[in-house]
Chain A
Amino acid sequence: MAINLLPWRELQMKKRIQRYFFILVSICFLISMVTLILRYSFHLTILEYEAKNNHLAKIIAEMKFPVETKKINEKFQMLSEQTELIKKINLSNADFWKIFNNLGKNLPDHIQIKQLIWSNLELHLTGMTLRPEQIADLIQALEESSLFSQVIMEGVNKDDQSENIQFSIKAIPKV
């Protein structure tokens, strides 16, 4: 190449630098555009899935599943109540024998127990005595025992011929 003293090399270098910066800016622009496009496509995909989900939710809501679910739920609740009851019954049977043993130990003298009914987790006790203070002793003994939460006198009746006092007590055990 013949010598040329015009500053063509300087111009060439400036052009090269310009080209370099142009390429750099173009690459940055391209990268940002690709990123934007990707983000937009992701956004669209998410929107599409959301729309699908909403559509499915709508279809599910419109279908009869909830009714059946409600029935299943009711049945389940019933079953769980029954299970709970069975558990309580099992528990109450064990308690009855504990109470029965305890009653035998704490029963005051001169009191005759005629009937002992254990139903609905309640103890119905019917008996007779000659002395009314012994009924009070029995109630006190039952209340003081750790087995009952509440002891209620249900009725008292005096037989004039035999002078026996008949009584009935309801005791609710502690759960």
Chain B
Amino acid sequence: MQKNYIGLEVFNEKIQIAILSRQNSQWRINEILTILRSEEGLEKDLHLIRRRIKSIKQAILCLPEIPVLIKEFTLDPSLSAQEIYHYLQLQSAIILGQPFDHWFLDFEPCISHPLLSHLTNFRIAAIPRESTNRQLEICRSAGFKIKALDLEIFALSRLICHFEGYQPEMTQGLVLIKEKELLFLACLDGRLIYTKKTSYSLDYSVSQLLAPLIQFYNRVFPEFNLTQIYLLANQKILSIEGISIESPSLKSSIWQFSLSPEINELVSLGLAIYGY
């Protein structure tokens, strides 16, 4: 039986799910669903999905509506992951502003600034434990086995490597324009260098918001200047902006298409390929 890879995004208004399988090192999109949430609650909705797609077992979950805290900190590279974890347990109130028990957190080494090459930069992502736990419990009771809890930005930075025209060893930028917010990412080899999320209103044009962001980024990371920028926005926003550009498509050598994903569904694809 073919193994399915599932990315699950739970919003307040909808649930987005991407079901992929892998054949001859190529990803095949089996199904992409966007289900509007009913008034009966998340558990019922998830049960419905489970009933509809019986092959679902493990899933990578993303909870985009829950606020996430992302911080970078610098530590001695000789410290082991356990030691860093202990350090975070002790210093959580200082680093994250709340005691350790308040968060679900994880960390990863990230690209250091050249001036701090003797130290190792770590990126810490933290999400409030209580609200997350509630959602997780609902997902589990609906029969989903949650393999990992991921974030939108990491899913997108993972997906950049699979875009058409992607150039390895070059710094790529990605701008995701939603209806109310704008997300900017800079990635190198699928690893996140910089991220910025700003609220977005129609009073300002996308270019007005983007220009200072890119300028700021290039000034802070001159050695990782952007060579490519992918702009992800739905057609409605682009028409308001008056921009006419084609959305990036996925590399045909990696993806075997039977469905072409919408821009809004890209995050769930990025989630599904977690670990690859």
Contacts and interface: CB of A to CB of B under 8 A. Distances in A.
Interface stretch (B147-155, B162-170, B248-256): B147-155
A63 interface: no
B107 interface: yes
Interface in A1-43: 1-9, 13
Contacts of B106: 3-5, 8-9
Interface string B3-27: 0000000000000000000000000
A5 B108 contact: no
Interface of A: 1-9, 13
Nearest to A9: B85
A6 B59 CA distance: 13
A6 B123 CA distance: 16
Could you tell me the dominant secondary structure of chain A's interface residues?
A: loop
Contacts of A4: 106, 148-150
Interface residues of B, number: 23
25 contacts: A2-B148, A2-B150, A3-B108, A3-B123, A3-B150, A3-B151, A3-B154, A4-B106, A4-B148, A4-B149, A5-B104, A5-B126, A5-B127, A5-B132, A5-B148, A5-B149, A5-B150, A5-B151, A6-B136, A6-B146, A6-B148, A7-B104, A8-B106, A13-B82, A13-B85
Contacts of A1: 108
B105 interface: yes
4 shortest interchain CB distances as A-B pairs: A5-B149, A4-B148, A3-B106, A6-B149
B222 interface: no
A9 B92 CA distance: 15
A9 B150 CA distance: 15
A3 B104 CA distance: 11
A135 to B, nearest CB: 122
Interface in B91-107: 104-107
